[in-house]
Structure 1
Amino acid sequence: MTIITFQSVFNICFTKEMTIQTFAIEYDALNDRNTFSNGDTLTGRVIVEITKETKIKDVTVKAKGKADVSWTVSQGEENVTYWDNEKYFSQTQSVLPEDKAPGSVSLVAGRHALPFAFQLPYQGLPSSFKGAYGKIDYRLSANLSRPMRSASKAKVHFTYVSKSDYDQPTLTAPQHGSKDKNVVFFASGNISMEIFLPKSGYQQGEVLVVNGEIVNSSTRKIVPKYIIYQKQSFFAGSSRNVHTTEILKEKGEQLVSSTRQKLSKVLPVPLGITPTIQNCRILKVEYRLKIILDVSFTKNPVIKLPLIILPIDGPAVKAQEAGLFPDLDKLNL
């Protein structure tokens, strides 16, 4: 299997004598999505390029994961900031050769690649995420120390995707919702809908089939609308902040007065979105399917059904290139 290598260079360090030209971290991708998961081994190397022989005290690399949330609200004339964090793991190792003690190493001029390897924890950590008021972040950071010199530093983020820990009955549980409404302003009659989903769990790239029936017994025209949205919830102490983003929106066919319509609407679950996150104490990422009956001059009937979005299982498909999924770059998820 071909190993895809991802390289990112941070903090190119220049001292007065220009001794260290490059100090960077490279790591090796395990798949075409460049993601890591429970128990994976993350391998790579610290790159040091120097112009002349240099004495090194130590070179260390750290792998860590944590979550942070923070937001500020106005309370009268004061601003109050709510924040919290959660640490998942932190592992540090020296990348100097095993037969070299810290403080006794001299590197000759040229390029040096110092290898490292970390095994990520097996327990279910939450997936990488960046939201409106918080993030779940996984990174590698390196530190090079020299006698009588300031340390050189580098860092690079990597994407962690948690393996699903939902049981099969939860993922295959069907969803059902119904709504009934009388139309009374400048019209008369009744509008009703009944919606069914065959299951609750969907992988990114999978199609979601909405079945059901809409009955328009009113004198109004109605238009069904289908929305998949993401709900981000952030927690700090006893406070909570919620942010929602629509990730897919489609319109159905108009129903005129005295019409009954059977539904079998197909919606693509977009690629590139964060899987559902329920295993983080300070933030959650959830998804809903919302079906709206758009009716003039009255409150629209709405049904919301929960969805569990799972990570892609297997090689990434090229459905986006084929135009089957919306462009998510503009959604800033």
Structure 2
Amino acid sequence: MPPFASNGRLRLLDIVFDAQTNGSRPLYSDGDLVSGRVVFKASGPLQLRAVRLAAHGAACVRCTGGQQQRYLHFDTCLLGGSEGTPLETLVMGHHELPFCFELPEGILASSFRGRYGDISYYVHVELQCQGRRTCSVQRQFFVVQHVDLSTPVLQSSVAAAGEKTVGIWKMSGPVSLSAKINRGGYCPGELLHIHAEVENCSSRLVIPQTSLCQKQTFLAHGRTLTYTHAVAAVRGESIPSGKREFWDGQPLPIPNVTPSVLDCNIIRVEYFLKVSVNIPGSTKLSVKLPLVLGTIPSQPCSSRTSSFSSQSRIALLQPLWTTLNLALRLQSLLPEPLEEPPSYSEVVTEDQRRLFLHRVELQEDANITCLPCPQEFFLQPPPLYSEVNRNPRTPVSNI
């Protein structure tokens, strides 16, 4: 819409978003509050019947008869509006009317402008002046539907390979190509590292190149239109006949483009990496690696680190658990421990000892020869401890 032109005493009419700072675009996501001010300037007293604000957003296909899918519709009155309400008289000068509304969650698609259609969101303000005069202005704001790249599918590597025979009869030979990227999801501003191998067994000079392509798909009344173009590209060195070239992490900067739009019924925006080999006098040999451009970078470190650390702890504790289980099993097979043998004082009482000494004195007085064995026996400690075999079937070691 062209900029507002002065009409009578109204010299300025504009919409200013609070999220619009330093000339940046007003950017929001689903569930956010869109707030701002309606700014107008009068060169003299101005009588207003109503000031209405409407917000609307839709996906629109402009080809094959047109198709539309509505995402947002909001209408409110900032000033006046009801029947019988007297006119509001504004004095000369600068005036502002604040507004605020909430975006719905889970149904919005990212703002996009394509070749045959677009997804756009607008705020429209209309001033109903005295009589039938109306003045209006419309400003666009932008919505980004966040795409999380932390899903396991987008963190997995993507690979493809192809081969083509070039030439005729004895001069023919194959040209083979294999390519791989580390994961299937990236964010604008990141470096996409390409791993590729090109083997030229033909008689021609070939040139490898790769490009990040955007594919726009438009659906309307059962018909489909697609438009594909490259948004970034990188080129390799020429490969002569009989040679091979490797790309070990060839970087490709991802430009600031619209994230993938996958949740709209009539407009889809997809991306893929096209690795190709230019062959003079023949068609290209190409492979395509699909990928998703999102807004939330992948976070594999936290989950993978925790998983790795837990697995490492389990691996370190596994030998200890095995040893403890084995010790418990062996302990259950061993016989019960035997009781300790009695001490000397428990076997020979003090009275028995005195009686024995008294008998020895009597024998010495009667000149009766007495072997020292009994005396030595009673004066010596108990015999050495030896285990008693409680299970006669199992012999006991003497050790």
**Bin for the TM-score computed over the shorter chain:** 0.7 to 0.9
Residue 112 of structure 2 aligns with which residue? 129
Amino acid in structure 1 at the alignment position of 2:255: P
Residue 131 of structure 2 aligns with which residue? 148
The verdict on how the C-alpha distance between 1:48 and 1:148 changes in structure 2, with shifts beyond 3 A counting, is same
Q: Does 1:63 pair with 2:55?
A: yes
Residue 195 of structure 2 aligns with which residue? 211
Equivalent in 273, 290, 295 of residue 274 of structure 2: 290
Q: Does 1:266 pair with 2:266?
A: no
* Larger strand proportion of the pair: 1
Q: 1:83-121, CA deviations, whole angstroms, 9 ceiling, x for partnerless residues? A: 1001001112222389xx954422122111000112112
Q: Do the aligned residues in 1 keep the contact of 2:121 with 2:143 (CA within 8 Å)? A: yes
Equivalent in 143, 146, 151 of residue 160 of structure 1: 143
Residue 51 of structure 1 aligns with which residue? 43
Separation in 2, partners of 1:226, 1:103: 67
**Pair member with larger Rg:** 2
Residue 280 of structure 1 aligns with which residue? 264
Q: Do the aligned residues in 1 keep the contact of 2:149 with 2:294 (CA within 8 Å)? A: no
Residue 3 of structure 2 aligns with which residue? 10
* Larger helix proportion of the pair: 2
Matches within 5 A, 1:152-191: 152-164=135-147, 168-185=151-168, 187-191=171-175
Amino acid in structure 2 at the alignment position of 1:24: D
Equivalent in 25, 28, 50 of residue 15 of structure 2: 25
SS of the residue 1:170 aligns to? helix
Equivalent in 205, 224, 227 of residue 211 of structure 2: 227
Separation in 2, partners of 1:288, 1:68: 24
The alpha-carbon deviation at position 167 of structure 1 amounts to: 5.7
SS of the residue 2:138 aligns to? strand
Q: Do the aligned residues in 2 keep the contact of 1:30 with 1:36 (CA within 8 Å)? A: no
Amino acid in structure 1 at the alignment position of 2:279: V
Q: Do the aligned residues in 2 keep the contact of 1:9 with 1:24 (CA within 8 Å)? A: no
The alpha-carbon deviation at position 193 of structure 1 amounts to: 1.3
Q: 1:286-323, CA deviations, whole angstroms, 9 ceiling, x for partnerless residues? A: 1111111111222221101112112377xxxxxxxxxx
Amino acid in structure 2 at the alignment position of 1:57: R
The alpha-carbon deviation at position 203 of structure 1 amounts to: 0.4
Identical amino acids, percent of aligned pairs:
30
Separation in 1, partners of 2:20, 2:184: 29
TM-score (normalizing by structure 2): 0.68
Q: Does 1:254 pair with 2:238?
A: yes
Equivalent in 72, 89, 103 of residue 120 of structure 1: 103
Residue 338 of structure 2 aligns with which residue? none
The verdict on how the C-alpha distance between 1:190 and 1:119 changes in structure 2, with shifts beyond 3 A counting, is same
Matches within 5 A, 1:46-125: 46-71=38-63, 81-96=64-79, 102-125=85-108
Q: 1:134-156, CA deviations, whole angstroms, 9 ceiling, x for partnerless residues? A: 01111111011123132110110
SS of the residue 1:192 aligns to? strand
Separation in 2, partners of 1:166, 1:312: 6
TM-score (normalizing by structure 1): 0.81
Q: Gaps spanning 5+ residues in structure 1: where?
A: 1-7, 72-80, 314-333
The alpha-carbon deviation at position 204 of structure 1 amounts to: 0.3
Q: Do the aligned residues in 1 keep the contact of 2:50 with 2:80 (CA within 8 Å)? A: no
SS of the residue 1:158 aligns to? strand
Amino acid in structure 1 at the alignment position of 2:35: T
Q: Do the aligned residues in 1 keep the contact of 2:41 with 2:95 (CA within 8 Å)? A: yes
SS of the residue 2:202 aligns to? coil
Residue 324 of structure 1 aligns with which residue? none
The verdict on how the C-alpha distance between 1:51 and 1:181 changes in structure 2, with shifts beyond 3 A counting, is same
Q: Do the aligned residues in 2 keep the contact of 1:62 with 1:92 (CA within 8 Å)? A: yes
Q: Please tell me the root mean square deviation across aligned C-alpha atoms, in Å.
A: 2.3
SS of the residue 1:95 aligns to? strand
Amino acid in structure 2 at the alignment position of 1:10: P
Equivalent in 209, 222, 241 of residue 225 of structure 2: 241
Q: Do the aligned residues in 2 keep the contact of 1:231 with 1:242 (CA within 8 Å)? A: yes
Separation in 2, partners of 1:56, 1:97: 8
Separation in 2, partners of 1:102, 1:21: 25
The verdict on how the C-alpha distance between 1:85 and 1:141 changes in structure 2, with shifts beyond 3 A counting, is same
Separation in 2, partners of 1:229, 1:86: 26
Q: Do the aligned residues in 1 keep the contact of 2:17 with 2:26 (CA within 8 Å)? A: no
Separation in 2, partners of 1:88, 1:103: 35
Q: Do the aligned residues in 2 keep the contact of 1:178 with 1:194 (CA within 8 Å)? A: yes
The alpha-carbon deviation at position 166 of structure 1 amounts to: 5.8
The alpha-carbon deviation at position 13 of structure 1 amounts to: 3.6
Q: Do the aligned residues in 2 keep the contact of 1:9 with 1:23 (CA within 8 Å)? A: no
What is the number of equivalent residue pairs in this alignment? 291
Equivalent in 275, 285, 289 of residue 301 of structure 1: 285
Residue 358 of structure 2 aligns with which residue? none
